[in-house]
């Protein structure tokens, strides 16, 4: 009998031959070794195909319509207990009458928070700056080596096309430029000093326990240190991350300050922008333009040529403010020597905390309003704003689910991994800014840092959308599989988050949790998406 074709054998192995034909083939196989071998080989092949395909290569969906047990009531109960305990502790802490001298210790007061922030940043500044500059140098050097190696390899294989070579050259230039010694002068030591007889022509990046400038810096000074002192002259701006920053010399540009305390005793060409625990402008100090600052305590004894906008726990003014003085905060004192060239507007908690000496001069209007008692819930404007906020978030969610349906749904689902997302989110929230600073120090890393910063901020905003959608879906018990379901879930979730957000203390904690959860989910999804896919 004539042998069967391979395709016939394949049909037989797939069970697709007509019964009569199949019987004839079986009879033939009993006598023909050659065909039997073919059939056996085809069978083995089919088995391998099925086995290979049934091992799903990756990321099977984490049951996105029914979230399983990743975030069940038990977890919610633990969360609620933690929140309740946190709220009770917070309220108790607030009810204690803390002596003013110890207020910085209260982690819930604004000065306590700034103190905490600066203690942390000081740790990074003193211990971490060595790491930052060394890291930048090492990363630059390693990148250079890798690029050179890569170039040599490509040249060796003769694979360099013109465009590739151009790209390589640009990358090499960037890395070489970013290595220490170019464009930006870096100094790192326990005690970094620019002595009185020295002039630095570049922008100086200084990191150390103490950074002291007695000479002249023609560019900007970017300083990290426990103490940053400017006694000489900075022709550009001063950007300071110090525990204590003292300016007794001259800064011709502006001061951008993130310090625990900033004392200005000298001359400033432009403005002060800062987030500090205490700002003190001494009577010899002079600000050429204005002040925008958030602080626990602000004392102005020196003159400010233009306006000052201050968000602070307590503000003492005894000098001249050229234009308007705007205060949001606790206490305000204007002494007899104070002079405001424009309007005084203040939003304070208690009228009794406002002391304006009779000798004080206010050229413009005096507008002092109480913050407490001004019930925002009574204003229609408040609801209007909330509606706009909600509408914007819904719009962003809608765009997201239209443009990146898989990613948005998966991120919503990833919120359900609960503690994992939360923990990861805390790490991302805290870690990314540090990574950004490290990246920004190298020239190559700077654009990358800017882009990452944008993504980071966007993710913080999107966090509430993913968490809102997840919350809504759990409560509605919807499958969340259609866009309509997802949007409805988002609406419900966002409404709840918004309302909870207005509960004192608890709202803040919930908001923090939402951001962490959302960031964590984002990180998980980003990782999954970025992972190479075996089948694609």
Residues near other proteins (CB under 8 A) are 3-7, 9-11, 14-16, 34-35, 37-38, 41-42, 44-46, 48-61, 63-66, 68-69, 72, 404-407, 409-410, 479, 481-482, 528-529, 533-536
Backbone angles phi, psi at 295, to 5 degrees: -155, 165
* Calpha distance 171→156 (Å, rounded): 19
**119 or 481, CB closer to other proteins?**
481
Q: How far is the CB of 34 from other proteins (least distance, A)?
A: 6
Using alpha carbons, select from 301, 504, 528 the residue that is nearest to residue 420: 528
**275 or 466, CB closer to other proteins?**
466
Query: Which residues in 448-497 belong to E strands, given as ranges?
Result: none
Q: How far is the CB of 46 from other proteins (least distance, A)?
A: 7
Q: 3-state DSSP call for residue 299?
A: strand
Q: How far is the CB of 454 from other proteins (least distance, A)?
A: 22
DSSP letter assigned to residue 85 = H
What DSSP string runs through 356-398? E-TT-EE-S-EEEEESTT--GGG-HHHHHHHHHHHHHHHHHHH
- CA dihedral in degrees (193, 196, 201, 207; nearest 10)? 10
Q: How far is the CB of 60 from other proteins (least distance, A)?
A: 5
**399 or 499, CB closer to other proteins?**
399
Q: How far is the CB of 69 from other proteins (least distance, A)?
A: 4
Q: How far is the CB of 535 from other proteins (least distance, A)?
A: 4
**52 or 97, CB closer to other proteins?**
52
* Calpha distance 462→33 (Å, rounded): 66
Q: How far is the CB of 57 from other proteins (least distance, A)?
A: 6
**123 or 482, CB closer to other proteins?**
482
* Calpha distance 308→326 (Å, rounded): 6
Q: Which residue has the tokens 């900033």?
A: 262
**12 or 211, CB closer to other proteins?**
12
* Calpha distance 335→198 (Å, rounded): 41
Q: How far is the CB of 331 from other proteins (least distance, A)?
A: 55
**53 or 78, CB closer to other proteins?**
53
Query: 373: burial class by Cβ within 10 Å (0-12, 13-18, 19+)?
Result: exposed
**102 or 403, CB closer to other proteins?**
403
DSSP letter assigned to residue 3 = P
Query: 536: burial class by Cβ within 10 Å (0-12, 13-18, 19+)?
Result: exposed
């Amino acid at each position: 009998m004539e042998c069967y074709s391979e395709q016939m054998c394949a049909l037989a192995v797939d069970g697709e031959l007509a019964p009569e034909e199949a019987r004839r083939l079986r009879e033939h196989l009993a006598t023909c070794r050659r065909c039997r071998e073919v059939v056996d080989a085809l069978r083995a092949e089919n088995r391998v195909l099925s086995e290979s395909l049934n091992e799903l290569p990756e990321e099977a969906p984490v049951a996105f319509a029914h979230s399983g047990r990743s975030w069940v009531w038990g977890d919610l109960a633990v969360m609620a207990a933690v929140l309740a305990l946190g709220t009770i502790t917070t309220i108790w802490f607030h009810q204690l009458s803390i002596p003013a001298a110890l207020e910085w210790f209260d982690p819930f007061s604004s000065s306590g928070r700034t103190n905490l922030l600066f203690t942390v940043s000081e740790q990074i500044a003193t211990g971490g700056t060595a790491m930052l500059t060394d890291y930048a140098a090492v990363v630059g050097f390693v990148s250079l080596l890798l690029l050179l190696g890569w170039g040599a390899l490509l040249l060796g294989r003769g694979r360099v096309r013109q465009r590739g070579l151009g790209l390589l050259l640009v990358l090499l230039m960037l890395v070489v430029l970013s290595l220490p010694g170019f464009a930006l002068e870096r100094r790192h030591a326990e005690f970094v000093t620019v002595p009185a007889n020295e002039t630095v022509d570049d922008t100086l990046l200084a990191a150390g326990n103490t950074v002291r400038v007695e000479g002249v810096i023609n560019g900007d000074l970017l300083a990290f240190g426990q103490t940053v002192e400017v006694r000489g002259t900075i022709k550009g701006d001063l950007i300071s991350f110090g525990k204590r920053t003292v300016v007794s010399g001259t800064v011709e540009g502006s001061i951008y300050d993130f310090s625990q305390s900033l004392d200005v005793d000298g001359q400033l060409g432009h403005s002060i922008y800062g987030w500090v625990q205490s700002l003190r402008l001494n009577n010899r100090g002079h600000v050429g333009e204005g002040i925008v600052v958030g602080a626990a305590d602000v004392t102005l004894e020196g003159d400010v040529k233009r306006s000052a906008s201050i968000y602070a726990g307590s503000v003492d003014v005894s000098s001249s403010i050229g234009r308007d003085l705007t205060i949001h905060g606790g206490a305000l004192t204007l002494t007899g020597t104070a002079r405001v060239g424009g309007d005084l507007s203040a939003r304070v908690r208690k009228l009794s905390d406002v002391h304006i000496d009779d000798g004080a001069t206010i050229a413009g209007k005096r507008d002092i309003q109480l913050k407490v008692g001004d019930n925002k819930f009574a204003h229609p404007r408040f609801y209007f704003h909330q509606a706009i906020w909600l509408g914007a978030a819904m719009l962003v969610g809608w765009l997201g689910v239209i443009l990146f349906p898989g990613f948005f749904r998966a991120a919503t689902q990833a919120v359900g991994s609960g503690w994992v997302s939360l923990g990861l989110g805390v790490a991302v929230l805290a870690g990314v800014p540090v990574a950004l600073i490290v990246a920004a120090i190298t020239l190559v890393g700077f654009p990358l840092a800017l882009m990452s910063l944008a993504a980071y901020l966007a993710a913080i905003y999107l966090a509430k959308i993913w968490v809102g959608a997840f919350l809504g879906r759990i409560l509605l018990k919807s499958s969340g599989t259609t866009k309509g379901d997802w949007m409805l879930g988002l609406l419900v979730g966002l409404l709840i988050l918004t309302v909870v957000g207005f509960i004192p203390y608890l709202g803040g904690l919930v908001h923090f949790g939402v951001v962490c959860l959302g960031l964590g989910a984002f990180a998980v999804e980003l990782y999954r998406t970025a992972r190479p896919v075996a089948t694609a």
